[in-house]
Amino acid sequence: MWWLFGRTNGSGFSSSSTAEEVTQGIDGNNLTAIVTGATSGIGVETARVLAMRGVHVIMGVRNLVTAKDVKEGILKEIPSAKLDYMELDLSSMASVRKFASNFISSGLPLNILINNAGIFAAPFTLSEDNIELQFATNHIGHFLLTNLLLDTMKKTAHETKKQGRVVNVSSIVHLLPRGIRFDQINDPSSYHMWFTYGQSKLANVLHANELARRFKEEGVDITANSLHPGAVITNIFRHTNILSGLINTVGRLVFKNVQQGAATTCYVALHPQVKEISGHYFQDCNVSTENSQARNPELAKKLWDFSLNLIK
């Protein structure tokens, strides 16, 4: 219910704004976007609203059957929607590489990359690449995906003269950890579901900030930003039985719905107000403030090198 009292700031939008409202009147025709995790929660709404604005949306999904149902549902509402889906498991580097290869082979341009997929509070598990599952899925998978698609994004920006945008969906939980525990990523004895999730979300912010720095240094017309979508009722809480039950009973009174939860993502991905803004953290469709660790350029560079080493 707190979002009912959201105040508008510089953008004119607030915590109560919806994805449709913040993209009203925007023409997304001739734009192509990839949205990861587009079969549930804010990912579905992000894909739907971008498609509503004319964007050709490629949904990166784990479950092709669910993706087919999502696509059919959106097309039923928006017959003109341009939607495709491709298999993508962010916890698997092999799957990420296959997705990127298939996308590049399609010859499609890429204007917008929305790194949205994520898992929260899963029991301690190692991915097939032997990386703690939350860090693997929420950060490393998106880091690899972004790197593999950068040449396509740069080519698209150059040929179309339209600024590209990389959008990392982080979380306010990035405030919890004091940094990245590089030497304890896979340590089960130090695993804590909240702090480990927060670490992966801090990595999302650092990744976007370092991308922004590199784009500026290279003179590339692509921006990179991160965001907190708000506390949203989605199935991301499925691994936490107690918290999931609490959300189901009282969450609808205090949490955002998915229409509001997808607003900041769609705003950062499409709105003209965000043109030329790069290396920033957004909340409620306005520039916000990340923690001091997230603004640490040396930590961002260290994470970049650490991540590069993991994906080799």
Is the overall model pTM greater than 0.85, yes or no? Answer: yes
User: For a pLDDT cut of 70, what percent of the chain falls above it?
Assistant: 90
Q: Is the pLDDT of residue 292 over 80?
A: yes
DSSP letters, 236-298, are: GGTT-HHHHHHIIIIIHHHSBPHHHHTHHHHHHHH-GGGTT--S-EEETTEE----TTTT-HH
Q: Up-side HSE of residue 186: CA atoms within 13 Å toward CB? A: 8
- Per DSSP, the three-state class of 39 is coil
Provide the CA 231 distance to its chain's centre, in angstroms. 15
Q: Is the pLDDT of residue 245 over 90?
A: no
Pair of tokens at residue 214: 């590199």
Tell me the pLDDT band of 236, cut-offs 50, 70 and 90: very low
Tell me the pLDDT band of 239, cut-offs 50, 70 and 90: very low
Domains of the chain are 21-311 (3.40.50.720)
Structure confidence at residue 232 (pLDDT): 78
CA angle, corner 223, sides to 222 and 225, nearest 5?
Answer: 155
User: For a pLDDT cut of 90, what percent of the chain falls above it?
Assistant: 83
- Per DSSP, the three-state class of 224 is strand
User: What is the distance between the alpha carbons of residues 112 and 265, in angstroms, rounded to a whole number?
Assistant: 11
Structure confidence at residue 233 (pLDDT): 64
Pair of tokens at residue 32: 């192509």
Q: Is the pLDDT of residue 289 over 60?
A: yes
H or E stretch at 68: helix 64-77
Active site residues: 191
Pair of tokens at residue 27: 């023409």
Q: Is the pLDDT of residue 206 over 90?
A: yes
User: pLDDT per residue over 188-200, tens digit each?
Assistant: 998 999 899 999 9
User: What is the distance between the alpha carbons of residues 80 and 85, in angstroms, rounded to a whole number?
Assistant: 16
Q: Is the pLDDT of residue 278 over 80?
A: yes
Tell me the pLDDT band of 249, cut-offs 50, 70 and 90: very low
Residue 275, number of CB atoms within 10 A of its CB? 11
